[in-house]
Amino acid sequence: MKIDKLNLDGKKDSIEVLDKIFSAKINQKLVSSVLYKTNANYKGRHAKTKQQNEITGSTAKIYAQKGTGNARHASRKAPIFVGGGVAHGPKGELAYKKRKLNKSEKKLSIASLITEKNKLNNLIIFSDFGNKIKKTKEMHLIIKKFEITNSLIILDKSSKENIEKSARNIPNVKVTDVNHFSAFDIIKFKKVVFTESSIKELEKRYS
């Protein structure tokens, strides 16, 4: 299929793209599942308390079961005592399973989201920027001109570094490359921007 391609001066052209990425079947159930797993895996569960079995100390019974008049106790490690384990406390990262995300799930969810952006006219493809953008001011003018103020800009590796510096101080704009974006990024921003070279890299990776 063919999609419009823009030059920085605003002239329109067209580019041939793969149907299975830009005109795929939109699978909302799969997208929801991928977003749920991605979000769950991003969480850093660093809070941790010691359970009773992790406390170091004697395991001897603190006093006889009968005859003292006190309540029945076994170990000083019990949560009821100061210095004992914590009952029902956070268990740390190792206690939680990472939710497995298959490569095919990632690919299909990204194809679904890119197709949706394309249908809503929120997908923009530019000719390669090259060395045309060097300053934040120049980048800001382009963002304003093409109304991409809330956008994810996906570039090829060679031009990413230069453009990333020029867009660093512009709010609500994220610059990345084909290897470092997720379904979560596409959902977060209103518009998705590709260049001609990044489209080719994307098609190589997802074909």
For residue 164, the model assigns a pLDDT of 86
Q: Does the pLDDT of residue 168 top 80, yes or no?
A: yes
Q: Is 124 in a helix, a strand, or coil?
A: strand
Q: Does the pLDDT of residue 128 top 90, yes or no?
A: no
CA 19, CA 22: separation in Å to the nearest integer? 5
Q: Indicate the pTM of the whole model.
A: 0.78
Report percent pLDDT > 70 for the chain. Answer: 100
Residue 121, amino acid: N
Residue span(s) of the chain under CATH 3.40.1370.10 come to: 2-44+97-206
Q: What is the pLDDT of residues 53-101, one digit of tens each?
A: 999 988 899 999 999 999 999 999 999 999 999 999 998 888 778 888 8
Residue 170, amino acid: I
Q: What is the pLDDT of residues 24-42, one digit of tens each?
A: 999 999 999 999 998 888 8
Edge-first strand listing for the sheet containing 191-195: 12-16, 2-6, 123-126, 191-195, 151-155, 173-177
CA 17, CA 20: separation in Å to the nearest integer? 9
For residues 139 and 172, is the Cβ–Cβ distance under 8 A?
no
Task: Report domain 2-44+97-206's class.
Answer: alpha beta
